[in-house]
Structure 1
Amino acid sequence: MKYWLMKSEPLDYSIDDLERDGKERWDGVRNYQVRNMMRDDMSVGDKALFYHSNAGKDTGVAGEMAIVSHAYPDPTQFDPTLTFSLPQQVSALRKIVKSYTSKNTKVSLVSLGKNDEKVRVRVNMKNAHPDPKSDPVNPRWLCVDVSFVAKFPRTVTLAEIKNTKELQQMRLVQKGNRLSVTQITKNEFAKIKKLANGGQY
């Protein structure tokens, strides 16, 4: 089992949203290093801390979730202004869209020709960040599904993490680190949970 810290701006998606939904996809990753970790290192059953980023004084770890799927193609990567017409592209897109489930983001195909030989992807996501160079046959970007485990009694703030000796080696607090997903140790995971619960594991 591995342990992760995963960032989301709460105005986009928060621990409260995940608690409401129960399960959701973690998409929108457009960084190769993070993509590779999701593809090569994440496994079903891994544990993750939900980190609220860019949240002012409330920036920090707000809860816990679990990884509940292997990495799979993220359909929000496909540019909605592009038309895909090669048979293998259309076939691949149908499979990708069919396998994608989300309570908050709707993904569909728009037919532009007879017998659906030309299609576009429609995504109702304000921060989809499409990649016009991503091909459905060999998609660049992946997502995973996560499920809600717990909302912490209080947020463990970034300042608190920086000032806690046992947490000062985390990638999160290293100068220049801007990754939205980082691997953490079992001890770091446990320490943050302990801080969130008032010193109780």
Structure 2
Amino acid sequence: MAYWLMKTEPEAFSLDDLAARGKEPWDGIRNYQARNFLRSMQFGDGIFLYHSRVPVPGIVGLAEVRSSAHPDPTQFDPRSKYFDPNSRPEQPRWDLVDVGFRARFAKVISLEELRQWPVFADSPLVRKGNRLSILPISETQWAAVLEHAELV
């Protein structure tokens, strides 16, 4: 089992949206490194859902990978903002995984708080300028967050 952190802007898609839907395709990823992370995800992997572009960015809850990676259909749709004219169905460039809701945290575990934890010292998450929407999380980091989280 592997662990991941997936960032989302709650105005576009939030933990509450995922909770209401139960499961959702994580589409629209258009960064090669993040895409490669998607391709390495396995059914049942754990996910921390992180809200960005909010007054207090941070981890807000838990989700899990509910499918292996498969082609993101938005890359083929000319009406989609994620359309990629260079991607073809016989050779897709972009993938997605389905993500399922697991739990909400009683309070946000903020980025500022995570920056204080030695277990996150080497994580790209706490480095200024990190723009990746998907990051691997170590087992030690996973355990540290769960130790501090209060599930709702």
Query: The TM-score by the shorter chain falls in which range?
Result: over 0.9
Structure 1 counterpart SS, 2:114 = helix
Task: Spell out the pairing of 1:112-191 with structure 2 (5 A cutoff).
Answer: 123=80, 128-191=81-144
1:2 is matched with: 2
> Which shows bigger deviation, 68-77 or 174-183?
174-183
1:44 is matched with: 43
Matched, 1:18 2:39: no
Unaligned runs of 5+ in 2: none
In 1: Cα distance, 2:114 partner to 2:72 partner: 32
In 1: Cα distance, 2:44 partner to 2:73 partner: 24
Q: Larger Cα Rg: Structure 1 or Structure 2?
A: 1
Shift of 1:79: 4.5
Shift of 1:19: 0.7
In 1: Cα distance, 2:30 partner to 2:46 partner: 22
Shift of 1:69: 0.2
Task: Spell out the pairing of 1:86-101 with structure 2 (5 A cutoff).
Answer: none
1:27 is matched with: 27
1:60 is matched with: 58
In 2: Cα distance, 1:167 partner to 1:192 partner: 10
Deviation by residue 1:129-166 (Cα, 9 ceiling, x = unmatched) = 22121112111100000111000111101111111222
In 1: Cα distance, 2:23 partner to 2:90 partner: 27
In 2: Cα distance, 1:8 partner to 1:176 partner: 16
In 1: Cα distance, 2:45 partner to 2:130 partner: 22
Amino acid at match of 1:61: I
Amino acid at match of 1:177: N
In 2: Cα distance, 1:13 partner to 1:193 partner: 23
Provide the aligned C-alpha RMSD in A: 1.5
Shift of 1:34: 1.0
Shift of 1:8: 0.5
In 2: Cα distance, 1:171 partner to 1:189 partner: 15
Amino acid at match of 2:59: V
